[in-house]
Structure formats: C-alpha cells, structure tokens
C-alpha cells in the first residue's frame, strides 16, 4: 500500500480535513475531498474503528467497501472520552480547514468540542455536520439513518408500485446525497472564507432535508393543486414513454423516448410509422393521455426480441436507452472502460482488485487514488509526530488509552 508521503496533487491540495465520521455520510464526504487532493485525517476509536470496516463482504476480515470508502485517507486512533485524546484532537483541529462529523447532535458538545469551542480555537475552521434531522428542531436529538431520511424526505413514498408497500433503493442513497450536500456546503464556506474574507462557519446537513431537496416539483404541486405524487412503478409519471421493458431473453431495458422527435424516430424504428405521424401523439400531453396503449406497443416489440437486438435498433435510431446493468455488465462495457471507471489496486496481501473510478472528471486537476483504506491507526506516528509529539509521548498516550 502506497503511503501518503506528500499532499495529493489536485484542486483541494493544501487543505487539511479532519473526519470524525463513521459508516456512510461523513466518510463519503471526506472521501471526495481526499480524491481531489485534500489531506484527510480520519479519526477512529481505538476500539475497532469505523464499523464500516466490518460491513458487507469481508476480505481477510476487512470490508471491501472500507478499502474504497477510506482511500487516500490517513487513519489515527483517538479515545475522545479521554482528556488527552481530546487534546490531541484540538491540536489537530487548530490547524485544520474542514471538520466533517456525523455524530448525533450534542455528542461533541458533551465532550467539550462544540462549535463555540472549536471556532474560538480556529476561527477559519469549516465544520460540516451531517445528522438525521439537523442541529435544530424537535427531532434533533433523535437518531436517524439514511433509511429514515429517505422516508421522511419523501423518496420512499414514491418508490415502488401503486399496489404494494413502498420499497427502498438498493443502496443507502440518502446518506450519499447528504454527503454530496456536505461537500458542496464546505466548498461554499471555503469560498466565503478565502474570497470574501469571511471566517469559518457551520454547514448543517440533515439527511431528510438532503433527500427532500431532490424531490423535484412535489412541494408546489401539492401546495397549488393538492396533488400528492404516488408510487408509479417503472414509468415516469406525466412523461411518456419512459419505462423499463423485458426482452425475449428475460433481460431488461430502460427506454426514454419522451422527446417529441425521439418518439417519432422510435416508432419508425419499431415499424409503427402510423404512431410516429399521429398528430395526437406529437407532444407529451397527447402521448401521456394514451400511455397504456403506447406501453402495450413497446412491451410487445421489446418482448419479441433479445436484448442485443433491441439495443442495436435503439442505438441506430438514436433513442435514449440502457440495459439494466449489473456489476458483471459494467466490468466488460466499453463505455465504463473508456471513462476509466475501474481502477486497479491491491489488497493488503497483494491481491489485485478493481475499485470504482473517481467522479467527476476534471480536465486540468483530475482526482486520483493513491492508496486504499488504511489499517486502524496506521498513521498515528506520522500524524502525531507532525503535531509535535515525541516518540515517547506517543507511547505514553498509547499506554494511557488516549490513542
């Protein structure tokens, strides 16, 4: 595993980020910073560290997810219940640019590490706080995972089929959305500090609000018309045609032919020139009024052919479409390969494996992956040494249980 001997080259090079997060939201936000050049120091409990180390598929006792989520980060262990551990953290934060934390509101305050203390310690510090319900309001003290944020934020209500209970997406999307908002907020705060001459500030991200912010026209539609968007299965309500269809070989494809010109090309490609030239179907309103008829036509055409032939026909007609990709599909797909969406890396024992590429693509200062998720406390000596602790002092901290 390559060691962090120097700051990463990237647009965030020179920034120091301290991560107090666990599991998904906080660590994902910090991972993005690390991929684009920030020096990210992940603070973990000496007692096992981030639980993500043991989540999902394990390789020799460590989660494969961990090696991706903690890439480019340095890991140190601090016992924040120990006075000396808190003092180390204060030294670390006194020279940091960003703190990312996803404790329940009030936890840091009880440790004497609330915003008032940290802002006085380092007026330039930007503090990104990710929590279930935010730092204020009647629910602020309640625990809230991404699943709760997705439920309260409106996503779960509209996901699934009308005749069945709501369903979840296949990943913890609420946590990841919150992480993205956290990074956006941190960059805004940094611009205010560096361009406008301001000080550091708190970026307060609630998981439910992060999801709620993505809910398109839900609020005005209810407020003006009393309309409540319901579960609609695979179709896009009010936008036709856009749905998932099953091919003759049992594979599935998403077809989005809801643009006027696209719809006409689509219908001609499948031998339905009569529908392409029907003036009643020339715009979305007309197509949506005949939604069931059109989806029946498309289902029959797709269902009569194997996936490869459906894809070929739609590509030639320039109709937006995609098979429903599994990981296996992705690994051999030329688009994924051309865009370098799989990076080669090695596990601690030298076994090669592939991990997701970096997003987004920057033309001049692209993100990079220099090393995979580190061992627990791997960088204690390096980080504490840089803070001025001698080898004997670090050993004493370890004996006392502070690190």
For residue 237, what pLDDT is reported? 84
For residue 5, what pLDDT is reported? 46
Give the homologous superfamily in CATH for domain 16-214+339-400: Crotonobetainyl-coa:carnitine coa-transferase; domain 1 (3.40.50.10540)
| Cα distances (Å, whole numbers) of residue 90 to 115, 252, 396 | 12, 53, 18
- Where are the CATH 3.40.50.10540 domain residues in the chain? 16-214+339-400
Question: What are 326-350's pLDDT values in tens digits?
Answer: 999 999 999 999 999 999 999 999 9
For residue 8, what pLDDT is reported? 54
- Where are the CATH 3.30.1540.10 domain residues in the chain? 242-246+252-323
Identify how many contiguous H helices and E strands the chain contains and give both numbers. Answer: 18, 13
Ranges in the chain, pLDDT < 70:
1-8
What's the CATH fold of domain 242-246+252-323? formyl-coa transferase, domain 3 (3.30.1540)
Query: What gap in Å lies between CA 111 and CA 101, rounded to an integer?
Result: 14
Tell which phi-psi region holds residue 5, choosing left (phi > 0), alpha (psi between -120 and 50) or beta: alpha
Question: What are 248-297's pLDDT values in tens digits?
Answer: 999 999 999 999 999 999 999 999 999 999 999 999 999 999 999 999 99
Whether this model's pTM surpasses 0.95: no
Q: What angle do CA 151, 153, 156 make, to 5 degrees?
A: 40
Q: Which residues are catalytic?
A: 175
Strand order in the sheet with 98-101: 73-77, 39-44, 16-19, 98-101, 126-131, 202-206
């Amino acid at each position: 595993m390559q060691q962090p001997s120097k700051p990463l080259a990237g647009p965030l090079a020179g920034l120091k980020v301290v991560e107090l997060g666990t599991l998904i939201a906080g660590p994902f936000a910090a991972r993005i910073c690390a991929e684009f050049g920030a020096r990210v120091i992940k603070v973990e409990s000496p007692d096992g560290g981030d639980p993500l180390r043991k989540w999902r598929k394990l390789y020799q006792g460590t989660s494969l997810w961990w090696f991706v989520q903690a890439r480019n980060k340095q890991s140190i262990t601090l016992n924040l219940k120990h006075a000396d551990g808190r003092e180390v953290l204060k030294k670390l934060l006194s020279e940091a640019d960003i703190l990312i934390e996803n404790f329940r509101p009030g936890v840091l305050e009880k440790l004497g590490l609330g915003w008032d203390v940290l802002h006085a310690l380092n007026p330039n510090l930007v503090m990104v706080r990710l929590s279930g319900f935010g730092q204020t309001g009647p629910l602020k003290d309640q625990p809230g995972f991404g699943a709760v944020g997705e439920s309260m934020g409106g996503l779960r209500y509209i996901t699934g089929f009308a005749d069945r209970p709501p369903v979840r997406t296949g990943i913890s999307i609420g946590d990841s959305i919150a992480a993205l908002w956290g990074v956006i907020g941190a960059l805004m705060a940094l611009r205010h500090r560096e361009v406008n001459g301001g000080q550091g500030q708190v970026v307060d991200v609630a998981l439910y609000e992060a999801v709620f912010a993505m809910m398109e026209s839900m609020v005005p539609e209810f407020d003006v018309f009393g309309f409540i968007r319901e579960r609609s299965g695979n179709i896009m309500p009010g936008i036709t045609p856009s749905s998932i269809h099953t091919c003759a070989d049992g594979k599935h494809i998403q077809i989005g032919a809801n643009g006027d010109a696209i719809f006409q090309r689509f219908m001609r490609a499948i031998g339905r020139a009569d529908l392409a030239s029907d003036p009643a179907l020339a715009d979305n309103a007309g197509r949506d009024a005949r939604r069931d008829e059109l989806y029946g036509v498309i289902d029959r055409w797709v269902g009569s052919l194997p996936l490869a032939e459906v894809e070929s026909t739609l590509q030639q007609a320039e109709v937006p479409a995609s098979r429903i990709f599994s990981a296996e599909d992705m690994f051999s797909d030329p688009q994924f390969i051309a865009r370098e969406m799989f990076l080669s890396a090695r596990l601690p024992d030298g076994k090669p494996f592939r991990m997701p590429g970096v997003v987004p693509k920057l033309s001049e200062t692209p993100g990079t992956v220099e090393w995979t998720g580190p061992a627990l406390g791997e960088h204690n000596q390096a980080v504490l040494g840089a803070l001025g602790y001698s080898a004997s002092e670090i050993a004493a901290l370890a004996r006392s249980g502070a690190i």
